[in-house]
Amino acid sequence: MAELFHSMMQFIVSLFAAGSIQSATPAPAEGPLPLQQSIPGGLTVIPVGYGIQPPAVSFNGQQVMVIRPDEQKPWLAMIGIPLSQEPGETSIRVGNKSIRFTVNDHAYPEQHLSVKKNHVNPSAAELARIRDEQAQMAAVYTHYSPARPWQPMAWPVYGEMSSAFGLKRFFNGEQRNPHSGLDIAAATGTPILAPADGKVVLTGDFFFNGNSVFIDHGQGLISMFCHMSVIEVEAGEEIIAGERLGQVGATGRATGPHLHWTVSLNNARINPLLLLSPWQKSKILAAAQQQNQEQAEPTETSHE
């Protein structure tokens, strides 16, 4: 099974290589759009007009990404829906109008685990540190930077998904924050590669997340990589898809080496699988499903 998955991942890498050769000739298309899933933790795409300039779009008070992959077609608002969003009718602001859309309910699986008490309840000094780190992360997630060409994301590390996005987590019976990213199991030292172009905007050693790197991919699309053993980039660096960011580790509140990858769009943490190409997503899900039957041990105790 692992063999098969790895040869598949190599094929994915070769597909991306082929894609970059094609884009050497001028072409307006920048790859397939993200998959839509109008659920908490999902993403929905809404057409927002044919103007020369993209309209200003906001959702929950947060500026929204607007792209136009095809000039014959309207601008598209790409709306990240937070895990905390109540299912039902909601709306985006487009200029001075609003456009309604529906967020469907979704039952994410539950995960129950027992952890040592000192992992669950931080001390007063640790709480102060956690608050400071949350403020730094919030500044990154709410920042809106200029547009970059839209591109689907690549799988950032050579390894299998070990924990899915959105799991409802209970530690010693107490409900905690849901899993706001996905985990990929890999040995300490495995290189972590940028899933798309962007700019490194924050690095550091965080209480829960350990050594972490934040990349701004433009228009409110941010990636976070956690628990790294080594960070190999610095804030301010421009990064191209496939460039090394660092190495897999188990720093912060992790019980074993893995990569935790969060993707945030308009300050909503969303399922990173939606931003992969549909082909990649279906293969990765199939491999994860096989593995879930063996129930992988949880590798971390908290996030954010």
Q: What whole-number distance in Å separates Cα of residue 267 and Cα of residue 224? A: 12
- C-beta of 300: minimal distance to Zn ion in Å? 5
Q: Judged by CB, which is closer to Zn ion: 217, or 260?
A: 260
**Parallel/antiparallel/unpaired status of strands 97-103 and 268-270:** unpaired
Binding site for Zn ion (CB under 5 A): 183, 260
First to last CA, the chain: 33
* Cβ proximity to Zn ion, 174 vs 234, nearer residue: 174
Give the residue at shortest CB distance from Zn ion.
260
CB of 114 to Zn ion, least distance (A): 18
- Closest C-alpha to 222, from 248, 194, 186: 194
Distance, CA of 54 to CA of 144 (rounded, Å): 15
| CB of 164 vs Zn ion, minimal distance in Å | 9
**Least distance to Zn ion, CB of residue 227, Å:** 8
User: CB-wise, 44 or 162, nearer to Zn ion?
Assistant: 162
Whose Cβ is closer to Zn ion: residue 46's or residue 270's?
270
Q: Which residues pair with 212 in a beta bridge?
A: 204
- Dmax of the chain from CA atoms? 58
Q: Supply the minimum distance, in Å, between the C-beta of residue 186 and Zn ion.
A: 13
Question: 41-51: buried (b, 16+ CB within 10 Å) or exposed (e) per residue?
Answer: bbbbbbebbee
Give bridge partners of residue 20 from the DSSP assignment. Answer: none
DSSP string, 18-54: HHHHHTTS--S--SPPPPPB-STT-EEEEE----SSP
Pairing of strands 268-270, 258-265: antiparallel
Angle between helices 278-292 and 2-22 (to 10 degrees): 170
| Token pair in block for residue 113 | 């685990």
Residue number, 148 or 260, with CB nearest to Zn ion: 260
Min dist CB 259 to Zn ion, Å, is 8
For the bound state, the minimum distance from the C-beta of residue 303 to Zn ion, rounded and expressed in Å, comes to 6
Residue 59 or 208: the one with the smaller Cβ distance to Zn ion is 208
Q: For residue 292, give both structure tokens.
A: 């879930």
Nearer to Zn ion, 209 or 219 (CB): 209
Residue among 212, 232, 213, 214 at smallest CA distance from 222: 214
